[in-house]
A = this chain, B = another copy of it.
Amino acid sequence: MTTTAEEQARRNFPRGLSQPETGFRFSMDALLLAAFAGREQVRGRVLDLGTGCGVVGLGLALDHPDFFGVGLDLNPDMLRHARENVRRLGFDERFALLRADVRGPWGLAPESMDLVLSNPPYRDPGRGRTCPDESKTLARFEHRAGLSDFVRAAGYLVRNRKSCAFIHLAERIDELLDLLRASRLQPKELLFVHQRHDSTARLVLVRAFKNGGAGLAVHPPLILHEGRGSQTRLTASALSFCPRLACNADPGNRNSRTNGGNSKKP
């Protein structure tokens, strides 16, 4: 039984989500992951690993009423926002939040999840740009796990023959596939995401099955934008794949790029 306020929050999703003013904010990548995972029937127990403000798991919960979600994160600030979002959307009874390090211990039984979703950090700790303010860098990296930690956790927590879905940088696809196989997560589907039809892929969506057989499908790619300059807009196929990408499109502005304000990295 949802209240009017909850119904409105659900209709507006992902607009109006509570999240930090600065720091890690959800991006369109989270919406893509929820849409990708939701192409299959989703039921049972679903873990959103590194849930942040909860956008991936909550997005899936909105479309698939038949599962119980668990959002896991180490950052108490993010969990505060996630709790607020769970409440606003009326999911208190089917979305739990859990404070734990992705590196474990998680307080969850092995092979207890029917689906694990993750939009992990795109750069591992100690790699790439660091923050000019060193104390801030330490604070940011100290608790941040690398891609291998996310994959290992997923492999440990997902049930045999059940699946995990990840979104990550296409330029790291070789490393991601390698880590998945090392955790007995057999990649079965790849979907590359290109900003434009003629650009290299920026992202890849991967579905992997625990102890699955060999052989994977590389889907036709998802092309996000077409048009140039102020005529730039989401493609029909991107909006069909994930209607919520339109959330950042400003009808008063013909520039409907969606990742303007919602950057995963500050």
Contact = CB atoms under 8 A, between A and B. Distances in A.
Nearest to A174: B177
A19 B238 CA distance: 46
A16 interface: no
A187 interface: yes
B190 A173 contact: yes
Given A170-B218, A200-B217, A218-B201, A178 B181 contact: yes
A197 interface: yes
B216 A194 contact: no
Interface string A201-230: 100100000000011111111000000000
B219 A221 contact: no
Nearest to A189: B200
A54 B175 CA distance: 34
Given A171-B216, A173-B190, A192-B221, 12 more contacts: A170-B218, A172-B215, A174-B177, A174-B180, A177-B177, A177-B178, A192-B192, A192-B218, A197-B220, A200-B220, A201-B218, A220-B221
Nearest to A223: B220
Interface string A123-153: 0000000000000000000000000000000
A218 to B, nearest CB: 4
Contact of A220 (B180, B198, B218): B198
A179 to B, nearest CB: 11
Q: Which 10 A-B pairs have the closest CB atoms?
A: A201-B218, A174-B177, A170-B218, A200-B217, A171-B215, A174-B187, A192-B218, A198-B220, A171-B216, A177-B177
A180 to B, nearest CB: 8
Contacts of A181: 174, 178
Contacts of A172: 214-215
Interface string A163-185: 00000001111110110110000
Contact of A200 (B173, B174, B197, B218): B218
Nearest to A219: B200
